[in-house]
Amino acid sequence: MRYKFNIEKYVKRSLLMLVVGVSHLAYADPASDALPQGGVVTQGNASIESAGSPSAPVLNINQTSQRAVVDWHSFDVGSASTVNFNQPNAQASTLNRVTGGGSASQIFGKINAPGEVILVNPSGVYIGKNASLDVGSIAATSHHISDKDYMDGKATYDRNGATGSVTNDGSIRARFGGYVALLAPEVRNNGLIIAQQGTVVMASGEKITLNFDPNTRLASIAADPSQINSLVENKQAVEVPGGLIIMSARVANSLIRGVINQAGSLSTSDTAQLVAKGGRIVIEGSHTTLQTGSETVARGSSSGGSVEIAGTHEVNIQSGAKVSVSATQSGHGGVITTHSLGKTTLNGTLLAQGGKISGNGGVINTGSTLLEIGSSASVKAGNRGTGEVGAWHIHATSLDINHNNDKVLSAALDKANINMKLVRNYCASYGGCDFNMTPGLIFDPGAMISKT
């Protein structure tokens, strides 16, 4: 047997993930009346004043310039405290940099701003369970950005050796068309993030650049692969109706793990059906997992959106995980693309159906060196009302058709075309294979594919 289990490596990794998972517990919760301390305005025009009462303290940053930089000794917000960024308009921005060192910023209270708020702390940022951030846009990061780059309107963040994590256990809400960016070697969302027709980014990398379109909306990112182990995880809800969600954990080489764990809900749909077209979701790492019970949806009333799932080494869509880009009323299904240079395991549900009233089925692309389709998998790209059927494109080096998955393929043929492109063993072009791969299409005895 060629696979060798490395118990020492497993234990080390498990201990590391345990320590990281509880890292915010290493610090005592801030006092309920805690506020940022030692603020000094180094760029732009702004003043800092205290208000409120002893039981409900308030800190106001009154800004008159479009951009301002404030260096803080610490930036904590207690559960009874509020920080207001009184900016001149929704296009204004404030960069807050923690220079005291040693402790992650802990946000347990409220932060309000009409424009953009950037919080940089190399030791990390923790947003507590009952925290509420209501802002135009926000970036919370352990990465560095220089005053000059920021004042020049650039948005490139360098890790610069930082190892602090960013975790959201609370509620973050961006204005219509705004963005939320959580950038660190390890990013976790255990709370709620909302950005209607905006963008949510959860990403790791040595250098991360946020790219904005002419309408100042965050349209994409460019991330240099990380030189250290990275984790980007969603366990609760990210709601971006009609917008864009990016989860990225790319790494520099095969000795480093860039783990994506989608265990909650990612949605660019709108349950109120106010969004005609589903948005876009991009998930990319070295090891990408969609866990049982997770929902990754980009539905729209008149057109499905797109979901792209990539794993350099592995994509694992577990049983009970759902990915949907279906149209809900009258319209065509969208596009789902999964891709891995290593192994893709499909046990979940992929839906790219046309609308219930009318509309063509969408397109599902499944590409991998080694593709395994389990018996619990369900793939549907058909029409549900009037319209043409969609297609499931399978591109793999090896696919085994057996008694478990032949029914999956047969059911998919009911209302969709299946196009298979199976190539010979090209392991050499990927630097060698780690598994015993038999090239081509293999039918186990008695297995068959037939239209149901």
For each of the chain's 452 residues, which pLDDT tens digit applies? 232 323 333 333 333 443 344 444 455 789 999 999 999 999 999 999 999 999 999 999 999 999 999 999 999 999 999 999 999 999 999 999 999 878 999 999 999 999 999 999 999 999 999 999 999 999 999 999 999 999 999 999 999 999 999 999 999 999 999 999 999 999 999 999 999 999 999 999 999 999 999 999 999 999 999 999 999 999 999 999 999 999 999 999 888 999 999 999 999 997 655 567 899 999 999 999 999 999 999 999 999 999 999 999 999 999 999 999 999 999 999 999 999 999 999 999 999 999 999 999 999 999 998 888 988 999 999 899 899 999 999 888 877 777 777 788 888 877 678 787 765 443 333 333 333 344 455 555 555 555 55
285 with 396, same domain? yes
Q: Is 21 inside a domain boundary?
A: no
Report yes or no: 256 and 236 within 8 Å, Cβ to Cβ. Answer: no
The dihedrals phi and psi of 373, each to the nearest 5 degrees, come to -110, 120
Residue 51 DSSP SS3: strand
Asked if residue 262 is part of any domain, the answer here is: no
Residue 234 belongs to some domain of the structure: no
183 and 325 in a single domain? The answer is: no
Considering the domain architecture, whether residues 206 and 277 belong to the same structural domain is answered as no
Residues 198 and 289 grouped into a single domain: no
Residues 6+ apart with CB under 8 A from 272: none
Strand partners, 314: 287, 343
Cα separation, 439 vs 423, in Å, equals 7
In a domain, 4, yes or no: no
Q: Are residues 331 and 432 in the same domain?
A: yes
Give me the number of domains the chain comprises: 2
Same domain, 62 and 187: yes
If asked whether residues 175 and 119 sit together in one domain, one would say yes
Query: Structural domain of residue 341, as residue ranges?
Result: 268-452
- 190, 225, 260 - which closes a domain: 225
- Which of 163, 152, 141, 157 has its CA nearest to residue 96? 141
Which tokens belong to 283? Answer: 């998930």
Residue 353, CA distances (Å) to 276, 339, 340, 350, 437 in order: 15, 20, 24, 10, 33
Residue 423 lies in a domain: yes
Residues 6 or more apart whose Cβ sits within 8 Å of residue 148: none
Nearest-angstrom CA–CA distance, 368 and 394: 9
Classified as helix, coil or strand, 392 is strand
Tokens 């696919």 sit on residue = 399
Where are the strands (E) in 327-415, listed by range? 335-346, 349-351, 363-373, 378-380, 390-401
Q: Are residues 214 and 303 in the same domain?
A: no
C-alpha span between 129 and 169 (Å, rounded):
5
What CATH code is carried by the domain that includes residue 35? 2.160.20.10
Q: Are residues 189 and 304 in the same domain?
A: no
Burial class (CB in 10 A: 0-12, 13-18, 19+), 51: exposed
Boundary of a domain, candidates 225, 241, 260: 225
Asked whether residue 392 is domain-assigned, the answer is: yes
Between the alpha carbon of residue 256 and those of residues 3, 161, 182, 225, the distances in Å are 19, 16, 21, 10
Question: Do 40 and 185 sit in the same domain of this protein?
Answer: yes
216: left (phi over 0), alpha (psi -120 to 50) or beta: left
Last residue of a domain, one of 225, 255, 281: 225
Residue 339 sits in the same domain as residue 209: no
Residue 307 lies in a domain: yes
Asked if 208 and 286 sit in the same domain, the reply is no
